[in-house]
């Protein structure tokens, strides 16, 4: 039984939207960072699916996704580090409280 590529894409789209929704609505900064990871993973699903079932299947998609995973890890690490130093000064991880600078 073969699953058409669109199914993978749909899963990725749903994941991307869940991630975007989380990143834009969740108040806890850690969850926001995780949601961004979700979005990046949606991309990875896309890339890997295309590497197998795309118009021109080849290995670059998987390579690309390896790079994406690495970069996402680095980004998450930096994000968490910044969050920790923010937490030390402000004693909060609520995203909606981070509005000292506006307008």
Partner 1 sequence: MDMIANAWLIPLFPLIAFVLLVAFGRQWKERAAYVGILATAASFVFALLVFFERFVEGATDYINTDFHWLTFAGEKITMGFEVNQLNAMMLVVVTLVSMLVHIYSRGYMRGDERFPVFYQYLALFTFSMLGVVLSPNILQLYIFWELVGVCSFLLVGFYFYKPEARAAAKKAFIVTRIGDVGLFIALALIFWWVGSFDYSEIFNKIAAGAIEEWKLTLLGILIFVGAVGKSGQFPLHTWLPDAMEGPTPVSALIHAATMVAAGVYLVARMYDLYLASPVATEVVAYIGGFTAIFAASIGLTQRDIKRVLAYSTVSQLGYMMLALGAASAAGYVAGTFHLMTHAFFKALLFLAAGSVIHAVHTQDIFEMGGLWKKMRITGPVFLVGCLAIAGIPPFAGFWSKEEILVATLDSGHIDLFVVALIAASFTAFYMFRLFFLTFGGQSRGGSQAHESPGVMTLPMIVLAVLAVIAGFINTPWKPVLGEWLTEDMTAFHGGTHGAGWVTIVAIAVSVAGIALAWMMYGRGKMPAEGTGGVLYRVSFRKYYMDEIYDTVFVKPLRAIGKGLHIFDVWVIDGLVRLIAAFTRGIGGVGARMQNGQIQTYGAIAFIGLVLLIVGLTIAGGYVGQWRTIFL
Partner 2 sequence: MSSVSKWGNLAQYDWSVMSPEFIILGVATLLSLLDLFMNKKADRRILAWIGFLGIIVAGYFVVRNTGQNVVSILNDMYRVDGFANAFKLLFLSGVAFVFLISLTYIDESKNIRYSGEYYYLILTALLGAMLMASSSDLITLFVGLELLSISSYILVGTRKQHIHSNESAFKYVISGGIASAITLYGMSFIYGLTGSTNLYVIAERLSSVFYDGFDFLVYFSFFLMFVGFAFKISVVPYHMWAPDVYQGAPTPIAAFLSVVSKAAGFAIVLRVFLISFGSLVSFDMETGQQGSVLVNTLSVYIAIVAAASMIIGNTLAMRQVNIKRMMAYSGIAQAGYLLVPFATLTVLMFEQTMFYLVAYLFANMGAFAIIMLVNRDQKTEDLKSFAGLYHRAPWMAIAMTFFLLSLAGLPITAGFFGKFYIFMSAIVHSSYWLAGIMLATSVVSYYYYFGVIRQMYMRPGKTEAPLKVPASIGLVVLIALVGTVAAGIMPDPVMQYIHHKFPLQQMFQPGGQ
Report the DSSP beta bridge partners of residue 28.
94
Q: Does 43 bind partner 2 (CB under 8 A)?
A: yes
The partner in contact with residue 96, picked from partner 1, partner 2, none with C-beta cut-offs of 5 to 8 angstroms by kind, is partner 1
Q: What is the b/e burial string over 5-38, where b = at least 16 CB atoms within 10 angstroms of the residue's CB? A: beebbeebeebbeebeebbeebeebeebbebbbb
| Dist. CA 63–CA 69, nearest whole Å | 10
Task: Give the x-and-dash track for 67-96 against partner 1 (CB under 8 A).
Answer: ----------------------------xx
In the bound state with partner 2, the residue whose beta carbon lies nearer, of 3 and 100, is 100
Contacting partner 1 within 26-55 (CB under 8 A): 32
């Amino acid at each position: 039984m073969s699953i058409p590529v669109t199914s993978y894409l749909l899963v990725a789209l749903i994941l991307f939207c869940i991630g975007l929704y989380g990143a834009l609505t969740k108040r806890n900064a850690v969850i926001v960072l995780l949601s961004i990871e979700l979005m990046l993973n949606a991309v990875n699903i896309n890339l890997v699916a295309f590497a197998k079932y795309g118009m021109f299947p080849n290995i670059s998609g998987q390579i690309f996704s390896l790079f994406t995973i690495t970069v996402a890890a680095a980004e998450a690490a930096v994000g968490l580090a910044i969050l920790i130093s923010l937490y030390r000064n402000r004693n909060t991880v609520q995203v909606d409280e981070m509005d000292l600078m506006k307008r």
